[in-house]
Amino acid sequence: MTNHAIHFEQVSKSYGSFDVVENFELSVQPGEFLVLLGPSGCGKSTILKMVSGIEAPSSGEIHVNGKMVNYTLPRNRDVAMVFQNYALYPHKSVFENIAYPLLTRRASRPSKAETEQRVREAADIVEITSQLDKYPDALSGGQRQRVALARAIVRDPAVFLMDEPLSNLDAQLRDTMRQQLIALHRRLGKATIYVTHDQLEAMTMASRIVVMNEGKVQQSGTPEEVFQRPANLFVAGFIGHPRMNFLTAHSAGGNSVQVGKVTLRTQADAGPAGRPLTIGLRPTDGQYDRAEGNAISGRIIQSEFTGADAIQTLDFGGPSLLRIRKQGHRKDEIGTDATVTFHPKDIHLFDENGARI
């Protein structure tokens, strides 16, 4: 336990009878970049707040660097947090903002020169040195985010907490910042919990993703694991774009399932024949021009152009429509018939309770 940067032990948080977080168990290793991913209201921000001390857990223990911090004041927890809205101090200059964490403790207050040096270092890292004399409201969104990062960096904390730090930025800036954050993490090597609802951020940045829903951990694993082997319907639906197709089906015995009139071969064992199942098919896994595999034929009833690809909607007479990504786009395909094939390993099976088979 002492090796973990952050360790959660049966942590729960409830407001009255409403459970926001239930029995949360997790260990974050030093240097790890852990992403908490989930829709809003899933409890991921609450977890950050409990680590930082803004909220107290209802039960369970939180350890930072091997020390139980449940009852420690936020100022003594040695964690730095970057907020979604940056939480810059509007009445202080950029320099004063970054310097603030160094000056709050009289006992450990560095000298003026040292303060200056450390602020400049932190500002250098996030490339904001030229803005030190400005006030926050004179900065752009991206610059503000950098200031917030610098303020977190400057005090050299054991743990970084980031609460949707990029969600207020426009798409382009978000791309840049994402890369810079990865670089920054690599450089500092500090354990980080990063909270987001954006799967792209999670997939690109995380060394480990913890997917949460309704206060519970749905799956924990590397980006590849959660994408390729989603543990349940929620994770499968939440991760991947376009969203996975879910079709009601039943087992046809052994490694085959029956969806409407179509029978598909699967890698996993579907169980005894007749067992009700849900199968998941990623739109990106469908192949148009291959003869082999599980073929599904139907009529193209819609085609949405997205740039390089098109998302086509296929009516194959099954329980629901099927959306498939297709490279290239031709308007006149609407109304024509098409056949799509799926490799058996790309057919995800979920049991009645939504758990992966």
Partner 1 sequence: MLSTTEHRKLRLKARIRQNLTAYAFLAPALIFFVLFLAWPVVALLIQSFQTGGIMSPAKYVGLENWRQTFTDPLVVKSIRNTVVYSLMAIPAVFIIAMILALSLNTVRFGQNTFKTIIYYPTLQPILLAALMFTFVLHQDFGILNIILRAITGEPVNFLGNRNLALPTIAMVEVWKGAGFWTLLFLAGIQSLPRDLYHAAELDGAGPGRRFFQLTLPLLKPTFFFSFIFATIVNLQIFDSVFVLTDGGPVNATVTTTWYIYRSLFTFNEPGYGATLSFVLVILVLALTAVQTILFRERR
Partner 2 sequence: MSLRRSFTNRPIASLQPTGAMMLTAYVVLCFASIVSLTPFLYILSTSIKETNSLFTYPPDWIPASIYWGNFQKLFGETNFARWTLNTLFIGIAITLLKLIIDAMAAFALAKLEFFGKNLISVALLLAVAVPVAALVVPLFFIIRSMGLLNSYWALILPALTNPLGILMLRSFIVSLPADLDHSARLDGASEWQVFSQMTLPLIRPGLVVHAIFTFMLQYTSFLWPLVAIQSDKKQVLTVGISSLKSNFVVDWGLISAASLLATIPITLLFLALQKYFLSQNMSGAIKG
Site of interaction with partner 2 (CB under 8 A) = 52-54, 73-75, 77, 79-81, 83-91, 100-101, 104-105, 135-137, 151, 155
Angle (nearest 5°) at CA 211 between 208 and 213: 165
Residue 76 contacts partner 1 per CB under 8 A: no
9 interface partner picked from partner 2, partner 1, none, CB below 5 to 8 A per type? partner 1
Q: Where are the alpha helices (DSSP H) in 155-222?
A: 171-188, 199-205
76 or 302: CB nearest partner 1: 76
Interaction between residue 61 and partner 1 (CB under 8 A):
yes
> Judged by CB under 8 A, which stretch of 28-36, 37-45, 67-75, 153-161 contacts partner 1?
67-75
Describe the strand order of the beta sheet including 262-265 as a list of residue ranges: 262-265, 256-259, 245-251, 276-281, 347-350
Residue 56 binds to partner 1 (criterion: CB under 8 A): yes
The residue among 80 and 347 lying less far from partner 2, judged by its C-beta, is 80
Stretch that binds partner 1, among 56-64, 137-145, 215-223, 245-253 (CB under 8 A): 56-64
225 touches 210 (CB < 8 A):
no
Distance CA 119, CA 147 (A): 10
Residue 81, classed as helix, strand or coil, is strand
The window from 63-71, 83-91, 227-235, 294-302 that contacts partner 1 (CB under 8 A) reads 63-71
How far is the C-alpha of 235 from the C-alpha of 237, rounded, in Å? 5
> Under the criterion CB under 8 A, does residue 2 sit at the interface with partner 1?
no
Output the smallest distance, CB 55 to partner 1, in A. Answer: 13
Assess contact for 195 and 160: CB atoms under 8 A.
no
Residue from 16, 17, 71, 291 binding partner 1 (CB under 8 A): 71
Q: Which of 276, 201, 254 is nearest to 38 (CA)?
A: 201
Concatenate the DSSP letters of all residues of 18-60 into one string.
Answer: EEEEEEEEEEE-TT-EEEEE--TTSSHHHHHHHHHTSS--SEE
In the complex with partner 2, the residue whose CB is nearer, 86 or 342, is 86
Beta-bridged to residue 258, according to DSSP, are 250, 263
Considering only 54-62, 97-105, 237-245, 315-323, which stretch makes contact with partner 1 by CB under 8 A?
Answer: 54-62
Q: Which residues bind partner 1 (CB under 8 A)?
A: 9-10, 56, 59, 61, 68, 70-71
